[in-house]
Chain A
């Protein structure tokens, strides 16, 4: 791993600092400007995106770029930031999604507040917009920081920073019993984080270092399995795998839709990234021993999530369960403990990020334009909203892995890895591999069924006046969809980063 001298110094530090510093600025500007501040909030995200793009060339083909700052030198603790083949696409995905959804929010939140005004009769103060966008930026910092970080304490800090603003956003701008659900979300992921902390601390006990790179020292210790398991459980709670998934449908269902569109696509999958970074890479021999059990767990998750999605009528809860199912695929890729499988899992994070972001965006459009979340009450909307229909189809094709979207490529890698490890493993793994690939049809099934129920068939009388969504909502989603198709046709943009990285690791 060598570090290159960059044209822009402190790029990675700036990636975090720019939005962090912008948060209070946006807040104060927001108090003056009101809803228009959403556009101001996009600026720092554009800056960070450009910074990340400027790094991409360095990272191509297995390279890496890192920065390190003194933090608590007495304790040997540095504030390190690292971009490499694994993290670069995580960063791009998070940043692009945050940027697009920020644009989307400008219209959506206006609608949300109008709805609130309608209910309460109290006019929305500017500060409501101000704090929304300030928290939004902090949330972005949390996610980006989690991905960039190189030591465990720093990791934990950002991991919590990711949680707190998102909790506040659900708590204040969500729907339904938002306080209770915000609490539930907070408790679950926080409990997960505490177990993670236990794992981190015990690893320190063994290795005497908080550096992620030092985690490999845990291998061989008698409690290595427990350490790995504790860390993983923390991440699995975030990913909402079967058994510890129950917070997710609530949180994603009741969060304000733009936040759902970040929670589900961008945030929960970071669990998979963290599991790769903290456990699979440094503690590979330990992780390998879990492979069979985890594969089965993943199969359970993907089937269970898909089945639950079939049973939903609320479109946001439907999408939330579909996320559980997709996390099952990512989990399956990780559990394969094979080069292509883990690459595929990260690739599928990107796929799911863009695909599910489109779909939550569509759900938000439906809520704003049609005024309902119940699939039963919709129908025949393709006539009224052709763009939304196309977006919804492309979003579903992306997560279902239908070419030419990128979902096909990511699932291709996941299953290559799964079969790769299954064919050299036990017959039970082979059975899991075959069953799990057959189960992918479940995704196609629930997707198209939902598309049909919402957009096709006769248009009900009461929906005759529904209008297509404004450009600010359509355009970001359209960009995501085109991106998905583009990567589907030319996957090397992603694979040339991911595959050499994992080729070096495994």
Chain B
């Protein structure tokens, strides 16, 4: 991009406005919110939506590049940090299919949720803060996606973390009805705690990734993605030359994505993140921020792919193996927790964790064999996109439900179908997509993940496929469960009580259900395109993404080995999906739809299932263990150290030092009054009494002045003398002390000079 380098920053932005304005404008918008508040709350809300729109338009202006295939790549703006003797760190954006796709998904969904929020949050007194974080989030997220180097990505990465912190803890007054968890006697958590937890747990991931970034920076001397890939053949073998280092670097690097995307073992923050307003959960904790990890893994995967398959460094593959296993395990674990949760938003949160597990699995298997790379990457990105759409829709639908009946618990819902028909239909379609029912988008994207596993065709990838398949059955089961508990069956006591008080659950207003309808519409369109693509390949969204990513990787100079997809592979994947839908569906039908079996009676009456239920309900006891070890354990440890080492050892030393100084002063004083005074002043006096009164008087005066007063005054440590704050004399004393010190030091220095030591 040499011609760009010669341009001024402003010219660069004028030439390529889209990728810059997409994140700069929402950030400016965030800062402008307090000003718009002055003009009135209505104007402020409209302004927030307008800023969101600018971001959508900027992002959309990049879409033509997708079709022309002639995207600009790395656009550098200006030097951020000059490293003497090294290549400078530039501020820049990387515009390629991966970033264009993700940033459009983010901007578009953000905008819909902004619109939804104007109604959902209506009447809240602190919306300026809400919009600030919301817009700043959009800006940071797009910065993260579009940036061309790791440090800038980290700035956006932490930026979205701050916004997530601010929005989860939005109801920081911790009023009882905002608490999450339970129901009592289970532990409940206030929103401010949840926000802190989210920031700290993801922060753990962040420090890991930073560790890896420093290793990479040290060897590669650059953090620009394009340069990193271009020079990988130089620095990657150098890291690999230190045994174990490349593996450690890969694992540390994955720490960041694992934390941000709420994967095992750093997944425990996401269920609590539901304490924020539901529109925030939809945006940050379902559609966008939690995908940042997936994006970053995809972004860095070419390097490790090169390491594994071109340079044949076995340790490079650790990157893929770890993320594949983590993804599959998380997928299973979170789905199992969703089976038993009683909070609607939390079920969706577990489901999000589980679905991100699929994306990670896809990205992981992409490196397990040489031919699976493009398929895996495509599956990851495709599922990211499709999940973002249907999960945002689901959360917004859940928000409408919670908005209508003011409860988070599914056992307080039920029978809402007749009150909220539109929401019901939209939720059912989105849920069907989540469950992977053909021909909706979720079916195709999940299918792509299975195909990627099959293409990789190693023992590990097939095992992980089995785990993913079991999770798919569980997905369908819990989908049926929450739809039934929320919308079908009889109204719960809670709703009946509401009705008695004259509050009828109402359908969401238009401004809330239209954004959901748009999302669901897209889910259907993508799904139908997928179906059409089966006959006319050029229409298939999956093949479109695959084609784009293939081109992108080709431009990066990555040698690719793609095989033609065999029809039996596709059939196997479909067969797996269908079988799992059947298993999940039959169980769901038995327990919830037909009500042949009462689920709770069945579980509580069974001596095997009861403990399993308890185990799942308690989140595999991971959350409580983490608290015990890392929170209470750490604080107790700190307190214990403070009570022992700090207070008993160090404190005593210092007390000894200062006390002994003071004591020394006192000893001198005692010596002076008890020994010296009687012996000299009295004894000597007696001795000299006969000698001459005149001489004695002079001598006594001299002694008294110099020793009786001077010595103790100095030795008792200056402080006894200067006790009274308000005495005017005191201030003289201080100045005097300072001057004496200066003179002493100066004199000391000079005598050293002349004496020459």
Q: In the complex the two chains form, what is the Cα distance from A122 to B725 in whole Å?
A: 10
User: Cβ of B3: which chain A residues have Cβ within 8 Å of it?
Assistant: none
**Mask for A417-460, Cβ within 8 A of B = 1, else 0?**
01110010000001001100111110011001101100111110
User: Cβ of B217: which chain A residues have Cβ within 8 Å of it?
Assistant: 416, 419
Say yes or no: B81 contacts A492, CB within 8 Å: yes
User: Cβ of B722: which chain A residues have Cβ within 8 Å of it?
Assistant: 171-172
Closest 6 CB pairs of A and B: A75-B753, A131-B731, A503-B84, A456-B192, A311-B642, A419-B214
User: Cβ of A448: which chain B residues have Cβ within 8 Å of it?
Assistant: 165, 196, 199-200
Is residue A337 contacting chain B, with contact meaning CB distance below 8 A? no
User: Cβ of B653: which chain A residues have Cβ within 8 Å of it?
Assistant: 246
Say yes or no: B83 contacts A499, CB within 8 Å: yes
Contact A75/B754 with A157-B742, A180-B658 known, Cβ cut-off 8 Å: yes
Q: A172-B730, A308-B646, A419-B217 are in contact. List 12 more A-B contacts (CB 8 A).
A: A124-B726, A125-B728, A127-B731, A168-B738, A172-B725, A187-B657, A246-B653, A250-B654, A416-B217, A423-B218, A448-B199, A456-B173
Is residue A259 contacting chain B, with contact meaning CB distance below 8 A? no
User: Cβ of A499: which chain B residues have Cβ within 8 Å of it?
Assistant: 81-84
Q: In the complex the two chains form, what is the Cα distance from A337 to B366 in whole Å?
A: 41
Q: In the complex the two chains form, what is the Cα distance from A438 to B217 in whole Å?
A: 18
Say yes or no: B651 contacts A246, CB within 8 Å: yes
Is residue A160 contacting chain B, with contact meaning CB distance below 8 A? yes
Q: In the complex the two chains form, what is the Cα distance from A72 to B748 in whole Å?
A: 13
Q: Which residues of A does B touch, CB under 8 Å?
A: 24, 27, 72, 74-75, 77, 116, 120, 122, 124-125, 127-128, 130-131, 134-135, 138, 153-154, 156-157, 160-161, 164-165, 168, 171-173, 179-180, 182-184, 187-188, 191, 201, 204-205, 243, 245-247, 250, 304, 307-308, 310-312, 380, 382-383, 397, 402-404, 408-409, 412, 415-416, 418-420, 423, 430, 433-434, 437-441, 444-445, 448-449, 451-452, 455-459, 491-492, 495-496, 499-500, 503
Say yes or no: A183 contacts B662, CB within 8 Å: yes
Q: Shortest Cβ distance from A233 into chain B, in angstroms?
A: 15
A-B contact count (CB 8 A): 224
User: Cβ of A243: which chain B residues have Cβ within 8 Å of it?
Assistant: 650
Say yes or no: B735 contacts A131, CB within 8 Å: yes
**Mask for B231-243, Cβ within 8 A of A = 1, else 0?**
0000000000010
Say yes or no: B637 contacts A164, CB within 8 Å: no
**Mask for B251-271, Cβ within 8 A of A = 1, else 0?**
010000000000000000000
Q: In the complex the two chains form, what is the Cα distance from A119 to B728 in whole Å?
A: 19
Say yes or no: B661 contacts A403, CB within 8 Å: no
CB < 8 Å: which of B81, B173, B193 contacts A380?
B173
Say yes or no: B719 contacts A183, CB within 8 Å: yes
User: Cβ of A449: which chain B residues have Cβ within 8 Å of it?
Assistant: 196
Q: In the complex the two chains form, what is the Cα distance from A38 to B219 in whole Å?
A: 53
| Interchain residue pairs with CB less than 8 A apart (9) | A27-B731, A72-B753, A125-B726, A157-B749, A161-B742, A172-B722, A179-B719, A397-B162, A492-B79
Output the nearest chain B residue to A197 by Cβ-Cβ distance: B748
Q: In the complex the two chains form, what is the Cα distance from A334 to B203 in whole Å?
A: 25
Q: Shortest Cβ distance from A379 into chain B, in angstroms?
A: 9
Say yes or no: B155 contacts A383, CB within 8 Å: no
Q: In the complex the two chains form, what is the Cα distance from A14 to B742 in whole Å?
A: 19
Say yes or no: A308 contacts B218, CB within 8 Å: no
Say yes or no: B162 contacts A402, CB within 8 Å: yes
CB < 8 Å: which of B80, B634, B642, B651 contacts A492?
B80
Q: In the complex the two chains form, what is the Cα distance from A171 to B723 in whole Å?
A: 8
Q: In the complex the two chains form, what is the Cα distance from A440 to B85 in whole Å?
A: 29
Is residue B597 contacting chain A, with contact meaning CB distance below 8 A? no
Of B205-213, B373-381, B410-418, B516-524, the stretch lying at the interface with chain A is: B205-213
Q: In the complex the two chains form, what is the Cα distance from A503 to B210 in whole Å?
A: 24
Q: In the complex the two chains form, what is the Cα distance from A243 to B654 in whole Å?
A: 11
Q: Shortest Cβ distance from A370 into chain B, in angstroms?
A: 17
Say yes or no: B745 contacts A434, CB within 8 Å: no
Contact A403/B158 with A161-B738, A416-B217, A448-B196 known, Cβ cut-off 8 Å: yes
Contact A173/B738 with A423-B218, A423-B219 known, Cβ cut-off 8 Å: no
Is residue B750 contacting chain A, with contact meaning CB distance below 8 A? yes
